[in-house]
Chains A and B, each alone.
Chain A
Amino acid sequence: MSEIRPMLEEMVNKVLKDNCTKELINAAEKGTFPADLWDTLSELGVTAVGIDEDKGGSGGDLGDLMALLKIAGYFAAPIPLAEHTLANWMRSKAGLTAKSELSTFAPVSREDQIIFDPTDEGWSVSGKASFVPWGKDVQFITVLGKTNEGQYITASIPSDQCIINSNQNLAGEPRDEVVINQVAVSKQEAGLVDDQSADNLFSYAMMSRVMQMAGSLERALELSVTYTKERTQFGRPISKFQAIQQQLAIMAGETTASLAVADFIISNIDRNISFEETAMAKIQLGDAAGIATRIAHQVHAAIGFTDEHVLHHSTRRLWSWRDEFGTESVLAEAVGQRILSDAENLWDFITKPPAKVTVE
């Protein structure tokens, strides 16, 4: 664990607690990017954690970033902390320095292709990417494309040179279509990305959602416990009824399980986490999201699914994030494929998961 982590966590916790008010989150969902909050975090160096200083970052490691994303999830922070940092992480892998301007990465699905055609001056970039987080708010879209020789390559395309068609996820977070049509990029502005780093980008994106969901589950549980202690029916707080207690216990179980796998990732990210382990972690969080949101809303009853209460800031995010970068089924199929192709070694798989190194 990096030495700065506890301090960073405390600082980010304070900033987000002070800033991520119901009003700010609602405004963000209606389209007003919280620029002041982002600038504050940027000045504190929080938006460049996990990127080496010689690449324009603030240092720290990706475990630090993941720990901060858990806090961001807890406060339902409507900012692209994961996407902006991962965009710059990819740049650093390509030998490029970090962009301090707000950015995101694209595509978020391997099915969307961005092509880099060689020109005399460098590259001509074209392609389309769907559901790009914060596409409409950022200044740069850092794309992971391919050359005509099939090599991964990245460059940051100014968003005003793209066509951006707005869309949103269930939580009102921008998930936009980005169309890039023959945008010229100079040789110096682009850099090749090795296959392993390209894979890692998607793994880190999955891990980011794991963290955000873990924080969000923690928040939803706290809200539920608090509410059931306050809400009185039949002459006593509803938390005194066994029916409610048993539901909260189930929610606590899923939350604890989710926090355990999230902490596993935070602790191991700079050493050795395989794709399968990342997938298994996200399957846990995805399952937990389904169970916990149902219980949270059930115990909150009617008020919980109104705009007046804040519960939906957490639950709508959980419903969105569980589907981003792989649903439980998509990921379980990949994990199952791996297991069934080596059926005799199931127990080895569980005790010593395959080590496809994602070392930084």
Chain B
Amino acid sequence: MKELKLPNVELPEAAEKLREEVRAFLIEEEKKGTYVPKCDSWLGGHSAEFSRKIGERGWLGLTWPKEYGGHERSALERFVVTEELLASGAPVASHWFADRQTGPLLLKYGTEEQKRRLLPQIAKGEIYFAIGLSEPNSGSDLASVSTRARKVGDKWIVNGSKIWTSGAHHSHYMITLVRTEALGEKKHEGLSQILLDLSAPGVTIRPIHLMTGEHHFNEVIMEDVEVPDDMVVGIAGNGWKQSLAELAYERSGPERFMSTYPLLAELVRQLANSESDNAKIAVGKLVSRLWTLRKMSLGVAGLLEQGKSPEIAAALVKDLGTEYENEIIKVARLLIPSHASVSAESKFDALMAQAILHSPGFTLRGGTTEILRGIIARGLGVR
């Protein structure tokens, strides 16, 4: 079963050197009080100031060509920067989607004009993107989206709504999957991706608060929003295929198993020098699994670096990884009884609260566990 084979990837020296730089920067910033480490900081930790700092250091658009503001470094160096940021629980949500998937999407399918205009600003950490996929009536059955874009002259008129759109209220644009042809027999056809300016007339961003009261989710309502023709990404009608190509980037990165890493790190700190066999065994098991998942994720990064699009392997990493994010919570709360609360003064209690209250999202976002397992099953040839 070839799909199940991941290459063994060694990080090059340049990546390890970069790690030292990133780590030193993060230690300094945390010391300065720029941020307090949080769980799930790639979804919830918004700081335009921090994103710009990262951009200034050249850590965004790391793999992109220099002519578009990138730094022409390898996917493995990007992997290292990503995992260092996540391990420190730094506020990286503002630029996360733009750097992770909008950039690679534009590089692959964008026009020269789009690339020149948008990529340098993304790499500077100045403009942010939301991902507009789900709709009120289209979740896991994504191809059934009904947001409609009609061509009128040299413009598209967009009507519909996107939902569960993380960070839309912080973002400048939304990569929006729309139907540019009427729904026909084949629902995967006639879809397109457009760059929708979130400040355009006709766009309403309605907050949908999480159960914690935090504002990450939104509903983005589009009423006769005019989108210039040059804001279509790639080929009109090719949107489904283009969206799928993003998924391997979206599903296999370290953020799919490190959302609760800050809790694990704090757990280990609390248990430092513990003589309890139970604690040692539980921590040893948790860390072993993390070690394994990281190897798998690196393997997928290696395949991406070779120009492959390992959809099934990426689904595997996300499935195992997001289960693991929940496992950290389970083990931690049984090892150290806590009074978890988002307003707790104790670091452990606060991280525990963030982790628990964000946990339902881990196995939903970016493709539910059940959908992922369906993809894996197809890879096994049973679907």
Going nearest first, the 3 A-B pairs with the smallest beta carbon separation are A336-B280, A332-B284, A336-B284
CB distance from A130 to the nearest CB of B (A): 24
Given contacts A245-B382, A259-B6, A267-B8, contact A339 B377 (CB under 8 A): no
Task: Give B98 Cβ to nearest chain A Cβ, in Å.
Answer: 26
Which residues of B have CB within 8 Å of A264?
A: 8, 295
Identity of the chain B residue whose Cβ is nearest the Cβ of A344 in the assembled complex: B269
Q: Which of B282, B283, B287, B382 touches A248 (beta carbons < 8 Å)?
A: B382
Main secondary structure, interface of A, reads helix
Residues on A lying within 8 angstroms of B by beta carbon are 218, 221-222, 225, 228-229, 239-240, 242, 244-246, 248-250, 252-257, 259-261, 263-264, 266-268, 277, 279-281, 283-284, 287, 328-329, 331-337, 339-341, 343-344, 346-347, 349-353
Q: Least Cβ distance of A290 to chain B in Å?
A: 12
Instruction: Say yes or no: A339 contacts B283, CB within 8 Å.
Output: yes
Interface centre among A254, A260, A283 (most CB of B within 10 A): A260
- For residue B8, which residues in chain A have a CB less than 8 angstroms away from its CB? 260, 263-264, 266-268
B29 on interface, CB distance cutoff 8 Å: no
Q: With a CB–CB cut-off of 8 A, which chain A residues contact B366?
A: none
Contact bitstring B314-346, A, C-beta under 8 A = 1, else 0: 001001100000000000000000000000000
Q: Of the listed stretches B167-175, B186-194, B201-209, B270-278, name the one at the interface; the rest are far from the partner chain.
A: B270-278
With A221-B1, A257-B296: A245-B288 Cβ-Cβ less than 8 Å: no
Known A-B contacts A248-B380, A248-B382, A329-B281; the reply to A351 vs B19 at CB < 8 A is yes
Q: A245-B383, A253-B376, A259-B5 are in contact. Are A283 and B288 (CB under 8 A)?
A: yes
Q: Which residue of A lies closest to B289 (CB)?
A: A284
Residue from A228, A244, A287, A347 having most chain B Cβ neighbours under 10 A: A347
Give the A-B pair count, Cβ closer than 8 A.
Answer: 167
Given known contacts A336-B279, A346-B264, A261 and B380 CB-to-CB distance under 8 angstroms: no
A332 near B280 (CB under 8 angstroms)?
yes
Contact of B284 among A244, A256, A260, A283 (CB under 8 A): A283
CA distance A347 to B299 in the complex (A): 19
In the complex, what distance in Å separates the CA atom of A108 from the CA atom of B377? Answer: 40
Contact A259 B4 (CB under 8 A): yes
Contact A249 B373 (CB under 8 A): yes
Say how far A336's CB is from chain B's closest CB, in angstroms.
3
Residues in B neighbouring A346, C-beta threshold 8 A: 264-265, 268, 287
Residue of A nearest to B291 (CB): A280
Inter-chain contact B273/A333, CB cutoff 8 Å: no
A248 to B289, CA, bound (A): 20
Contact A350 B291 (CB under 8 A): yes
Contacts of A328 in B (CB 8 A): 285
Output the least CB separation between A337 and chain B (Å): 5
Residue of B nearest to A229 (CB): B382
Residues of B within 8 A of A347 (CB): 87, 265
Whether B237 is near chain A, meaning CB under 8 Å from some CB there, is no
Closest CB in chain A relative to B378 CB, distance in Å: 9
Shortest CB-to-CB span from B184 to chain A, Å, is 27
